[in-house]
């Protein structure tokens, strides 16, 4: 766990580790049985539920979910943390250990959408009386995009899309498929079918003409992820795919956040870390929850522009933009806490670059250069909690 604290310096690292140990002791330590030491070398793998529907989802209810939050985890503020579900060994155990030993809620958005998205969420929100955004989103490709039926070959069995990624297939890939099919019989031999379907699955290709496949357009990805049309328009296409590929699935997050609506009839103040294109903000807005203030921390300039554009069109509250989580010192955090009377919600999903399976080169776990930014989520949340406790 050493490298991840580099940006804090050794003294700060030692202090955080000590504090976590003390806090764990205070509420009895591992609430989930036999947890290994804080060195991050544990071998246990978080159990991913099947079906991956978290504590519940519209249409899915695990019969007896009783959740007891450790005292330390109970708000204010409410907090909500997200990252990819499939990570190298031990990552979710470490994240959970830092976030007050709360059990992650693993959800595959395929149960609420036409595209898969396997994510883990750690939060201290109530899990009863959640309500989904209505109308429920389409759950199959043809419900979402009926016009693709026309060219969809009978031998392509896909009815849902895979996870929407940050990059799309090159023209070379789609051309190769087109040429191959043009040279084949109809239906093509099994080996060709298999190759084509594997490529289609890998790249989420859809049928747009005879023998012709293509990636989804950015506005189709926006739609599948629950964003308003043209949300990311105005920045380059590559940038749009990247930001969308990293973003929340709005309907899933809104389902979890829906419990806030009755609790905060006068609106919420939000500390939004790693805001991206504002999946959390869009979820709150679509739930009809007023955002009195959002302090948004996002390093990408294009993302900040997208959020600002959306905010100015849809919101009346205050938006403060900060570029880098590393720049949020305890004093600065305390001053925001004072200014907004505390935060009702601290929300964010830190970068998954070194965690996600698609990254074969730098999948070095939570201590990777990007992924270790998780520790800033914990650090900042901890400072907010302390500052609010003094209020």
Catalogue the active-site residues.
Answer: 352
Position 326 contacts ligand SAH (CB under 6 A): yes
Among 90, 120, 226, 279, binds ligand SAH (CB under 6 A): 279
Taking the complex as a whole, the smallest distance from the CB of residue 125 to ligand SAH amounts, in Å, to: 16
- Taking the least distance from each CB to ligand SAH, the nearer of 125 and 373 is 373
- Taking the least distance from each CB to ligand SAH, the nearer of 188 and 349 is 349
Taking the complex as a whole, the smallest distance from the CB of residue 162 to ligand SAH amounts, in Å, to: 19
Among 90, 218, 226, 351, binds ligand SAH (CB under 6 A): 351
Among 5, 55, 207, 274, binds ligand SAH (CB under 6 A): 274
- Taking the least distance from each CB to ligand SAH, the nearer of 192 and 302 is 302
Quick one: which segment of 68-76, 90-98, 174-182, 274-282 binds ligand SAH (CB under 6 A)? Answer: 274-282
Taking the complex as a whole, the smallest distance from the CB of residue 58 to ligand SAH amounts, in Å, to: 21
Give residues 208-267 in contact with ligand SAH (rule: CB under 6 A).
Answer: 246-248
Position 310 contacts ligand SAH (CB under 6 A): no
- Taking the least distance from each CB to ligand SAH, the nearer of 130 and 376 is 376
What are 45's two structure tokens? 């793998």
Position 362 contacts ligand SAH (CB under 6 A): no
Taking the complex as a whole, the smallest distance from the CB of residue 59 to ligand SAH amounts, in Å, to: 24
Taking the complex as a whole, the smallest distance from the CB of residue 372 to ligand SAH amounts, in Å, to: 10
- Taking the least distance from each CB to ligand SAH, the nearer of 175 and 324 is 324
- Taking the least distance from each CB to ligand SAH, the nearer of 156 and 298 is 298
Judged by the rule CB under 6 A, the positions of this chain that interact with ligand SAH are 246-248, 274, 276-277, 279, 297-300, 303, 324-326, 349, 351, 373
């Amino acid at each position: 766990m050493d490298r991840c604290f580099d940006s804090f310096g050794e003294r700060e690292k030692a202090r955080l580790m000590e504090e976590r140990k003390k806090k764990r002791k205070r509420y009895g330590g591992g609430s989930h049985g036999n947890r290994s030491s804080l060195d991050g070398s544990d071998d246990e793998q978080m159990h991913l539920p099947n079906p991956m529907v978290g504590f519940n989802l519209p249409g899915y209810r695990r019969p007896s979910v009783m959740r007891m939050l450790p005292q330390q985890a109970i708000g204010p503020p409410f907090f909500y943390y997200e990252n990819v579900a499939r990570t190298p060994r031990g990552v979710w155990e470490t994240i959970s250990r830092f976030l007050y030993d709360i059990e992650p809620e693993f959800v595959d958005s395929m149960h609420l959408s036409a595209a898969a998205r396997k994510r883990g969420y750690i939060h201290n929100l109530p899990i009863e009386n959640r309500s989904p955004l209505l109308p429920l989103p389409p759950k199959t490709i043809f419900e979402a995009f009926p016009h693709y039926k026309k060219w969809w070959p009978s031998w392509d069995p896909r009815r849902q899309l895979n996870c929407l990624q940050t990059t799309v297939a090159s023209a070379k890939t789609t051309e190769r498929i087109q040429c191959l099919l043009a040279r084949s019989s109809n239906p093509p031999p099994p080996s060709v079918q298999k190759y084509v379907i594997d490529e289609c699955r890998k790249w989420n290709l859809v049928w747009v003409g005879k023998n012709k496949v293509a990636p989804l357009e950015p506005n189709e990805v926006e739609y599948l992820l629950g964003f308003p049309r043209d949300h990311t328009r105005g920045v380059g296409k590559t940038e749009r795919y990247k930001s969308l590929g990293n973003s929340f699935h709005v309907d899933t997050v809104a389902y979890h956040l829906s419990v806030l609506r009755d609790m905060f009839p006068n609106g919420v103040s939000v500390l939004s870390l790693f805001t991206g294109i504002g999946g959390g903000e869009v979820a709150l807005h679509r739930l009809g929850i007023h955002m009195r203030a959002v302090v948004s921390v996002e390093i990408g300039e294009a993302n900040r522009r997208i959020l600002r554009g959306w905010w100015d069109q849809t919101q009346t509250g205050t938006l403060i933009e900060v570029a880098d989580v590393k720049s949020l010192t305890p004093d600065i955090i305390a001053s925001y806490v004072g200014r907004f009377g505390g935060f009702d919600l601290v929300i964010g999903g830190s970068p998954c670059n070194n965690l996600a399976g698609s990254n074969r080169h730098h999948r070095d776990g939570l201590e990777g250069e990007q992924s270790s930014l998780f520790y800033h989520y914990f650090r900042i949340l901890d400072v907010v909690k302390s500052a609010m406790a003094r209020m």
